[in-house]
Amino acid sequence: MTLSQSLQNDTASLQEEKPVLRIWGRSSLKGNVSISGAKNSALVLMTGALLASDACQLRNIPDLADIESMGKILSALGVKLQRNNDGLTIDASHIAKTEAPYELVSQLRASFFALGPLLARTGVAKMPLPGGCAIGARPVELHVRGLQKMGAEVYIEHGIVNAFARRLKGAHIYLDYPSVGATETLMMAAALAEGQTILENAAQEPEVIDLADFCNAMGARIQGAGSTTIVIDGVPKLHGVDYTIIPDRIEAGTFLVAGAITQSEITVSNVVPEHLFAAIAKLKDIGVGVVQEDRNVLRVVPGMLYHGTDIETLPYPGFPTDMQALFMSLLTLCEGNSVITETVFENRLGHVPELIRMGAHIKVKGNHAVIRGVPFLSGAPVSGTDLRASAALVVAALAAEGQTTISGLQYLDRGYENIEAKLRGLGARVERIQGQSSPALVGVS
Ligand code: EPZ
């Protein structure tokens, strides 16, 4: 085979058919967009349903790839699931298996949240280590150490976390870091433990409160969720419940930024404004008006001139790391300099090179990104490296001159329900092109 033939073959195999999102820029948006249920509530509440001895009905569950994956994992444990109009019926009255398959867990880190409830409910749990992802190593030692403090025997062998406990015992646990997942794992495990558990330095995210409210509706006795100290008095059994989850604050923030970056006055409905306090404060610093129109409706009022600001991501109620990439897109078009410091994950700046391809001026030093505003971005073929990086490219493309083609939609579809339909509903020109050659390779052959 000649060199050019082998190159042709290599290129052909690289240009595998992958869908892309094509966005025509300089969109001006109008109208209203309604926010879906929170992905990061839905995922953990699905594992929380393992605690109940009969069926739970979860409502306002978004239709996302991650929800699909979690459903497969629960089914693999013998749990019965049924999708209905706006939610899920989860019947964990009989748990047939206590080991989740690696090929499913490796696709969804959040499946590791099943460890705590599975152990608390059955006394045995074998969960493959979730492994890292694009944004960081994502260790789980805080989950494991907390369960050990509650009397579980936990050891890791061949990449599997094996946990055993006849009955977990309440304990006083200090979390070295206010980890959302570790707080949720330990809160669920403690709900069925013997005695009282106190979690110090707990995560305060709204999704933690949603999980506590869900567990309490099932008969758990959890106090203090939303503060740094959570007290759980274990009970012998939990019953099923019909529960509606909170709206997705990160999706809400995504559309607030979409309105701001396109200088469009839009409304975002079905939100909880107090979940967005940090994001709204930063939008106002930049010069974007955000008006509460109704209990669950916010209106974006674009300003004439946006100026840069500094952002440091922190555990809630600090600025959410999941909105860092989105705000970086907006800051690339703000007058002056801005500094973003990512303190939560060690590798969550993957969107920077892609924004630079669109004409942004960004310099990265360690976990700091220094952004100098430019007058405009220009459309280009770009690729999402993780869920929120992909969303950041979408909002940048809405503002850019010309056309942008975004690949890496497998990330975007994990966290945004019907994003094209929602953007088109606001007047954006967006289309998903199935089976498009990977844009970055166009012209290689
Ligand atoms: C949850 O992840 C969210 N995912 C993430 O959303 C979110 O970014 C994150 O919380 C922070 O808010 C879900 O809820 C499914 P952490 P989680 O444990 O629980 C370190 C998205 O885009 N850490 O609070 O995994 C960890 O490495 C996703 O929707 C340990 O060191 O986050 C990280 O640096 C991305 N040891 C920091 O804590 C541990 O045992 C925060 O992680 C656990 C965590």
Which amino acid, residue 145? R
- What integer best gives the mean pLDDT of the chain? 93
pLDDT in tens, 225-280: 999 999 999 999 999 999 999 999 999 999 999 999 999 999 999 999 999 999 99
Phi, psi of 316 (to 5 degrees): -55, 140
Shortest-distance atom of ligand 1 to CA 43: 15
Residues with a catalytic annotation lie at: 133
What pLDDT, on a 0 to 100 scale, did the predictor assign at position 131? 73
Q: Which ligand 1 atom is nearest residue 184's CA? A: 19
Distance 251 CA to ligand 1 centre (A): 17
Q: What is the pLDDT of residue 154?
A: 96
d(CA 50, CA 73): 12
DSSP H helices in 151-195 = 180-191
* Domains of the chain (ranges, CATH numbers): 14-36+247-441 (3.65.10.10), 39-244 (3.65.10.10)
* pLDDT for res 438: 47
Q: Report the pLDDT averaged over residues 301-313.
A: 96
Ligand 1 binding pocket mutation candidate from 180, 326, 342, 388 (most atoms within 8 A of CB)? 180
Mean pLDDT of 1-12: 63
Distance set, CA 83 to CA 68, 88, 91, 376 (Å) = 10, 5, 12, 44
Distance separating alpha carbons of residues 249 and 251, to the nearest angstrom: 6
Please report the pLDDT score of residue 17 as a whole number: 73
- The model's pTM is 0.94
Q: Can you list the positions of beta strands (E) in 73-165? A: 80-84, 87-91, 124-128, 153-157, 160-164
Helix residue ranges per DSSP H, 248-338: 249-261, 277-286, 324-331
* Whole-number Å distance between alpha carbons of 292 and 379: 33
For range 74-89, the mean pLDDT: 94
Where does the pLDDT of residue 135 fall: very low under 50, low under 70, confident under 90, or very high at 90 and above?
confident
For ligand 1, atom 26: residue with the closest CA:
138
Q: What residues are in contact with ligand 1 under a 6 Å CB criterion?
A: 39-40, 43, 110, 136, 138-143, 177, 179-182, 203, 321-322, 344-345, 387-388, 415
What's the Cα-to-Cα distance from 165 to each of 113, 225, 431, rounded to whole Å?
17, 25, 51
Where does the pLDDT of residue 436 fall: very low under 50, low under 70, confident under 90, or very high at 90 and above? low
Query: Which atom of ligand 1 lies nearest, measured to the CA of 140?
Result: 40
| 180 alpha carbon – ligand 1 mean position (Å) | 6
Atom of ligand 1 nearest to the CA of 178: 24
Flag whether pLDDT at 443 surpasses 50: no
Distance (angstroms) between ligand 1 centre and the Cα of 139 equals: 9
Mean of the pLDDT values across residues 414-431? 96
